[in-house]
A and B are shown apart, each in its own frame.
Chain A
Amino acid sequence: MTSLLQRNYTSSELLAVMASRTLADGQTVFAGVGIPLLAATLAQRLHAPGITLLFEGGVLGPFIVPGELPPSTNEQRCTRRANMILPITDVLLLLQRGYVDIGFLGGAQIDRYGNINTSFIGDPAKPKTRLPGTGGGNDIASLAKIVVAMKHEKRRFVEKVDFITSPGFLSGGDSRARAGLPTGGMHKIVTDLAILGVDPASKKLRVEALHPGVAADQVRANTGFSIDFAPNATVTDLPTGRELEVLRQLDPAQLYTA
């Protein structure tokens, strides 16, 4: 068992490392800024050099310069050594056309069917908090297989999201396909405690792996709904020195990994 005191990485660094491992070489990955971008870039530097990144600002196949992480996916820093820049609508249409393997998102709130809320906390008609909204999140989640990286907290993992900004498996079963979304859907949710996947029949989230030193009860206690464990649930490998080293080169100011 590894205690928190012995850890030589932050929760955000753990998230970025674990998320990077979900990506495979040769994939096209539509990434948002923050942990998704860091994780995809980390994968690109280590086990998956052939990943092609897509940014919704209109960038295809860039190569991020260490220490110059873009503040969003819409500024010139995103275009470094890109293969192509193109209009926003056209880069998003690559999702609809089927050229994107993985959509990589962060999330404010997620429910048991992998629906994500980034729009409203409380009643949308009279919200407690108005959040920034979908951006391309709804399009990415409607049209591609999704990986989400987020902190594992009870207030974030809720029975039912206040608002479905980015569709997961809606109300489970075949409800997503019946709504007109026959492709894509939630694939993996990487948290600082575990890796979650989706039960193939019910489409409910389930724990597929725990991070080293994390107990099953810890995951249950930090999840706002009852969650099952996959029959063959495993334990992930600790972040390696090399993974942490490259990650810290990418984000030396700890903009996203503090």
Chain B
Amino acid sequence: MPQTPPVKPYAQLRAETAGRDRSLHDKVVTLDAAAALIRDGEHVAIGGCMMSRTPSALIWALVRARRRNLTFSRSIVSSDGDIVFASGIAKKVITSWFSQGIVWGISRVMRAWTESGRAEFEEWSHMSMGLRYRAGAMGLPFMPTRSMMGSDVGRLRAGTTKDFVCPFTGEKLLLLPALNPDVAIIHVQRCDQFGNPQIDGLPFMDHDLALAAKRVILTTERIVSNDQIRRQPDQTAFPFFTVEAVAEVPYGSAPHECYGLYEPFFKHMDLFAEMTRADVEKGVEDYLKRFYFEPKSWTEYLDRLGLNDLLVATRAGRSIYDD
């Protein structure tokens, strides 16, 4: 299989940025319209990390729209990785760690899809993922690192990294290729109509993703006024002019967590693990049907998760602000 996306020439990177409407303008769209902005074959970087601030609703919409041949990249993937493989929207995920979560053991879906060769999990170290996005965000073609050398993680990626001797110190370094995704999809707690995103809690790699990507599509728990953003500009996570569209989707990270609002829906995560345990192919197909294809709307999806689980997750989520 072809290795990681090639580094974009600087002229192309600049041309893509130059083509963007940088004005403060209304970017509010529906969830389906947001998903329609992502095209078959694109490289989509997923914001958040593992079970946190996953843009679950947007991935849900991409699955329902039956996108094809997407490549996803993310710091760490959880059940979102299983979903993009099993639904057939992606053949490749570039990440550092891939399983639902340690307490559920190794992901059955990830195993079934990668071991059969239907899909590829391209592995990089966690810091390397971060430095690749950061190089992309800085408009540089690579980033030197002191990690990943000597290991087989490094050896497997040798076709796309470069051994390098520092011209100042003579030390051995590794050059990591910049990662400039076609689209970054990021879920935030609040955002205004112009795409000023505000994030509470863990920032993960989202700032670098937004700057590295050609386009950024946001989902937000709620849309707030521009005046409200301007009262706390220190909370704005990345520049509005990187953002192409924003959709308001309450509980848009469910069944994963959104800091301060809800924790992961643990019973639902147990259910997913349970359904994929015995017969993974049949189990994940049933899961997709029940939670991805049958519900007519995101509200109906949340309905299927259930009010009880939603309230348990919400109570735990809000408790982070308790003493």
Contact = CB atoms under 8 A, between A and B. Distances in A.
B146 interface: yes
Instruction: Give the interface residue-count category, chain B.
Output: 35 or more
Contact of B130 (A88, A128, A133, A142): A88
B121 A85 contact: no
B149 A71 contact: no
B126 A74 contact: no
A64 to B, nearest CB: 13
Interface string A103-131: 00000000000010001000010011111
A135 B97 contact: yes
Contacts of A59: 202
Interface string B140-155: 0000011111111100
A89 B208 contact: yes
Given A72-B50, A180-B174, A85 B201 contact: yes
Given A34-B102, A134-B96, A134-B97, A87 B125 contact: no
Given A59-B202, A71-B103, A130-B110, A138 B49 contact: no
A166 interface: yes
Given A96-B146, A130-B111, A180-B149, A76 B202 contact: yes
B123 interface: yes
Nearest to B258: A76
B115 interface: yes
Interface of B: 49-52, 75-76, 95-99, 101-103, 106-107, 110-111, 114-115, 121, 123-128, 130-131, 133-134, 145-153, 156, 171-174, 201-205, 207-208, 257, 259-260, 263-264, 266, 317, 320
A80 B323 CA distance: 10
Contacts of B320: 76-77, 79-80
A59 B259 CA distance: 14
Nearest to B269: A71
Contacts of B103: 71, 255
Nearest to B156: A124
Contacts, number: 181
A33 interface: yes
Contacts of A33: 102
Interface in A17-35: 33-34
B74 to A, nearest CB: 11
A92 B127 contact: yes
Given A74-B52, A134-B97, A180 B151 contact: no
B208 A76 contact: no
Interface in A44-88: 56-59, 71-72, 74-77, 79-80, 85-88
Given A74-B51, A142-B151, A167-B151, A132 B146 contact: no
Nearest to A81: B323
Nearest to A141: B151
Contacts of B153: 119, 134, 138, 164-165
Nearest to B317: A76
Nearest to A85: B202
Contact of A127 (B115, B126, B130, B151): B115
Contact of B147 (A115, A132, A139, A164): A139
A134 B172 contact: no
18 contacts: A57-B204, A71-B266, A76-B317, A77-B263, A79-B202, A85-B201, A89-B131, A89-B134, A96-B127, A132-B110, A139-B125, A139-B126, A142-B146, A142-B147, A143-B146, A164-B153, A175-B150, A179-B150
A184 B257 CA distance: 35
Contacts of B130: 87-89, 92
A212 interface: no
Contacts of B263: 75-77
A176 to B, nearest CB: 6
B202 to A, nearest CB: 5
Contact of A136 (B51, B107, B125, B202): B125
B257 A75 contact: yes
A180 B171 CA distance: 7
B50 A179 contact: no
Nearest to A106: B102
Given A76-B52, A96-B146, A165 B204 contact: no
A214 interface: no
A163 interface: yes
B147 A71 contact: no
A133 B259 CA distance: 26
Interface string A132-172: 11111111001100000000000000000001111100100
A142 B322 CA distance: 38
A59 B320 CA distance: 14
Nearest to B50: A74
A95 interface: yes
